[in-house]
Structure 1
């Protein structure tokens, strides 16, 4: 996990120092800039794979092509083996180099071969061109802009991009960009054509296998990997699978936060004891929660209230985890994939439900995934999301709606629960879903604070200043902080919104 910067021109050393400093939280281990003939590249590294020689930018043998990459290429061992069999030489042990070599061998078509979460920029000096790309779901962030001289700039966060240009846009997930082609969608999630339904046991077997594979894939690292554990179904399953796959002589570390007496803390302890993790927790006070709001909004680059509410506990748990590990697994994406939201009941055919699941998954890049990335990276922690594995998504979309949907007779995500019978205690496996911020005790604290500190007159004034409707005093409070950090109008097009505040 890293922070990247790339530009099709050059900036002064002093500006580049500001650029690198603005990304240091994303990669405190190493920082480097390389001014090339036609490009200027910058990188801040959090070393996860190839610890000794993975500093970026990485170049090819004749230094005609260079890459800056953020994220992880999970299938890099297979790609490397395949390329080396064709006499391709690697200069490092970094997974990021595999993306550069794939581009060298196959051009932009090779991007389809990458399995991972990534955002990268490849400078092709020899051919006077470049390619920028972002993973299928937008798990890793990427933004771009054009300065007043027509130069392209790319970066991992908006705060970095604004140091160089006021023209900012989110790079679309599942796309690559070259000057010759413009934006090209190289992969999208599509609903499978289901010819015949299987028996329920066949689906539970596939889910069990694919989620286990997804977790195993994301345990790939040269550093210790931990788990976020709220005590709910999704995080508990990921933690239990990781604990089962653990090959170390030390137990997997798990992490939870909450306010005094919050249910998350109690439930997480219960699960940790059952699966045998080395468990850590932190109890934050109401004052700490309130004091963190401005820091969270600055890091989050959004004021969307649902996002901020869930980001606050994420901020604290990331801070806690970063004191013990460099990589963390999360249960993000299970509700979307397995129809865990109550409103999805109205999509009662497999076709309409899949359309909605795909729509929601494709919106995660600037809501839940943005929150997960920014809060973990605020503490130099890499967060991985097994439930959003592409193979698992495709298999889950083949499950008929009647096996997924929440009904009076069937709890939400029943098919997922049945897929892991006996892996968790029964009372955990069949526990009802709660919002993270609700279970962690944050919801009431935030609501009361907003109502106390934004009076009706200020609410009306903030409403006038906003280019969009502010739907609650809580949203108005977050907007007030947000405008202090990000006054530029162009940022509003990058903000993802939930239907309700």
Structure 2
């Protein structure tokens, strides 16, 4: 995992260096800059594959093409075998990308299986190619500087070093000098699969196991986040089949449900388990740093980000890569409010909507909190083949029966891997299971009066702050950023009601 920064139109290394300094946490192992009169490309590297080679920006054999890239390509070894006409100087996935681009130009993205934000510069034609992965697992922002240059960076904090024109590079899109933005990926809607339950479960099992196996590939230690909920527990159980020893990590306040259930799962699947118990004082201490890294004041994100911050810090003492359970709730109907959908087709549309917007919600939280501690987060549920298969499953298998059991089909799969108490455990958001949300809500209530909230709930640009908790986080966010430049485009969770209380 890495951090990108650059400016198109100038060879100003000093500005790009300032941008890189802001996101040093994304890649503390190596740093590099390439510049000519037309462009400056900067990169901070976190070494995961080929630890001793592959410093970026990286060039092709004759130096015509230059690449900076953030992410992991899981099929890079297969792609490399097909690139027979190229001389490789590293064993990295990044070098595979640049040679693939030489062969296929912008169509290279259709052959890449992974998560990525990448920039390729053609020094002969003076053109640029930029791409972001299908779901936006890896972040990328862009904007125009006051001089009219096109700037980009992995995080808002880096981009605001050179401009307040903040735009998110859309997921599933490419950008070229010739054609501007072009969409290359949409969530597929294949005909729904109405086969019997056993066949559906087997198809899901094959795809999810393949996804987890791919995400265990690394030249550094790999572990799993383990909340004791269905999603992370299933990922941990599958990973434990293929990697031993496997480290697992859990956090929460003393006596929280997540800590208790994570111990059950760790013992059942045989991981080396680690946990950290935090207090209200710990939460208060890290909250500004959490919001700084998160770049959001959305209450749902901040609540879960605090716990993710602590578990990422814990994991960083043992591993450099972690697998997480994000995406299962969106693909399989895990949120309680989804039970209100009586029409299965409207439920399917809502699942697609929240999946398309994961880049602004849970994926943003996981990326920022893991990167804050210089570790890489991987999300097996969001493999494109798992996603395609999930949206072929009829919605009645996701929220099922008179009791409307959420993620029913995933629970049936999990029966093959986990104890019954975990499989049929009631859904709890990460912030609730860890005991974090109650504490944060109490802190916000003590910091923001009713009068202050009523007076300041509407910003000058029309943005409405929906709760005292959100206002508290907003005030912290303003310490670090020109918030007006991006708050209207900031992701906000659909799994909260209007009062920001968990449904």
TM over 0.5: yes
Counterpart of 2:129 in structure 1 is 131
Counterpart of 1:18 in structure 2 is 18
Is 1:214 aligned with 2:211?
Answer: yes
Deviation at 1:11, TM superposition (A): 5.5
Counterpart of 1:118 in structure 2 is 116
Offset from partner CA, 1:3-53 (integer Å, 9 cap, x none): 011211336444333222111100011111111242101100000011111
Partner Cα separation in structure 2 for residue 489 and residue 238 of structure 1: 39
Counterpart of 2:228 in structure 1 is 231
Counterpart of 2:332 in structure 1 is 338
Maintained 8 Å contact 2:339/2:404: no
Counterpart of 1:9 in structure 2 is 9
TM-score (norm 2): 0.95
The partner residue of 1:478 within 459, 465, 473 is: 473
Is 1:144 aligned with 2:142?
Answer: yes
Deviation at 1:488, TM superposition (A): 4.5
**Which of 485-494 and 138-147 deviates more?**
485-494
User: Where do 1:314-353 residues align within 5 Å?
Assistant: 314-348=308-342, 350-353=344-347
Counterpart of 2:35 in structure 1 is 35
Partner Cα separation in structure 2 for residue 483 and residue 265 of structure 1: 33
Maintained 8 Å contact 2:11/2:39: no
The partner residue of 2:303 within 302, 309, 319 is: 309
**Which of 346-355 and 270-279 deviates more?**
346-355
Q: 1:257 to 1:466 in 2, by over 3 A?
A: farther
Partner Cα separation in structure 2 for residue 16 and residue 171 of structure 1: 18
Maintained 8 Å contact 1:340/1:406: no
The partner residue of 2:87 within 86, 89, 110 is: 89
Maintained 8 Å contact 1:19/1:163: yes
Offset from partner CA, 1:118-165 (integer Å, 9 cap, x none): 001111111110011100000000001111222111110010001111
Counterpart of 2:168 in structure 1 is 170
Counterpart of 1:391 in structure 2 is 385
Counterpart of 1:245 in structure 2 is 242
Offset from partner CA, 1:348-384 (integer Å, 9 cap, x none): 4554333221111001111111111001100001000
Is 1:455 aligned with 2:432?
Answer: no
Counterpart of 1:492 in structure 2 is 487
Please list every run of 5 or more consecutive structure 1 residues that lacks an aligned counterpart in the other structure: none
**Which of 201-210 and 87-96 deviates more?**
87-96
User: Where do 1:414-433 residues align within 5 Å?
Assistant: 414-433=408-427
Q: 1:43 to 1:202 in 2, by over 3 A?
A: same
Q: Output the aligned Cα RMSD.
A: 1.5
Counterpart of 1:98 in structure 2 is 96
Partner Cα separation in structure 2 for residue 290 and residue 432 of structure 1: 29
Please list every run of 5 or more consecutive structure 2 residues that lacks an aligned counterpart in the other structure: none
Maintained 8 Å contact 2:8/2:38: yes
Partner Cα separation in structure 2 for residue 453 and residue 408 of structure 1: 43
Deviation at 1:410, TM superposition (A): 5.2
TM-score (norm 1): 0.96
Q: 1:292 to 1:406 in 2, by over 3 A?
A: farther
Q: What SS does structure 1 have at the residue aligned with 2:311?
A: helix
Deviation at 1:451, TM superposition (A): 0.7
